Amino acid sequence: MEQPTYTAPLIIQRADPYIYKHIDGFYYFTASVPAYNLIEIRRARTIEGLAHAAPRTVWRKHESGPMSQLIWAPEIHFINDKWYIYFAAAETTAFDDNGMFQHRMFCIECANPDPMVSEEDWIERGQIETEIDSFSLDATTFELNDNLYYVWAQKDPDIKGNSNLYISEMENPWTLKTKPVMISKPEYDWETKIFWVNEGPAVIHRNGKLFLTYSASATDENYAMGMLSIDDTTDLLDASNWSKSATPVFQSDLKHHQYGPGHNSFTVAEDGQTDLMVYHCRNYTDIKGDPLYDPNRHTLVKAFTWNNDGTPNFGKPVPYNYE
């Protein structure tokens, strides 16, 4: 079967992209906007349609306080017949004593079946508290056996690096139920380029396993994706049950000028069968200043296949076919 292909990049200047295909047949898209000042959603019947769909702002940053700066990496989820968006925000752009941004994780909720009707339909559920009050971001959720799980990136002051990956079961979509369990920390050479980072987790469930991809290293051409896996019949909250790939599963392709692919999510193609990976990437390396403030991380979507052993094969980043 021929795999679908999409315009590349699909949506310009949208980093940390997340696409969710709902039971109503629509694709819903959200991502970090370059100004980091609001959360927007767009929807369309097709993946290509998202490129031209009008975005609807559903939440704006506060004038002051913990949700007033650097709104990063929103994800939209549909849980128990309500919509939820998880995102990270900070009170200041200044660094803390560890030289880190000061983000914490937050959640907003919409009970309206149509999440794009108005901003007033979205209510704030507040900060998602963890055991450590430290830099935290990039939350995602997934369900398994009627249990809701939360996976995120966070700094532990006692562990070298910027962020590790944690998992917890949830009491409800904005409250953790169990003690956070660290399932990965930066340790390999490709995870520790300039910055020691594990972030941007995404989960896909296939072939009796959960595959958890994540992004590592600095957000320039060193950015690359790793992967953890676990049998879906084992205890997800036992770190020893998770297996970690020693090598990247998706990384820069210098030949085709694709640099720093990462912060991915998963969805399914219009045929309802073909698995798609959504990610951001740049096509140049000459970045002026902090890469986080360079707006040209664009959203791309590519189909991927599965190896004979049941693991995903993401291939290489898609060369740009439209600029």
Active-site annotation, residues? 16, 199
Decide if 204 contacts 214 (C-beta within 8 A).
no
What is the distance between the alpha carbons of residues 285 and 260, in angstroms, rounded to a whole number?
9
The full 3-state SS of 182-198, as one line of letters, equals EEECCCCHHHCCCCCEE
Polymer length in residues for the chain: 323
**Nearest Cα to 100, choosing from 161, 44, 168, 59?**
161
Decide if 224 contacts 248 (C-beta within 8 A).
yes
Three-state secondary structure call for residue 48: helix
What is the distance between the alpha carbons of residues 220 and 225, in angstroms, rounded to a whole number?
13
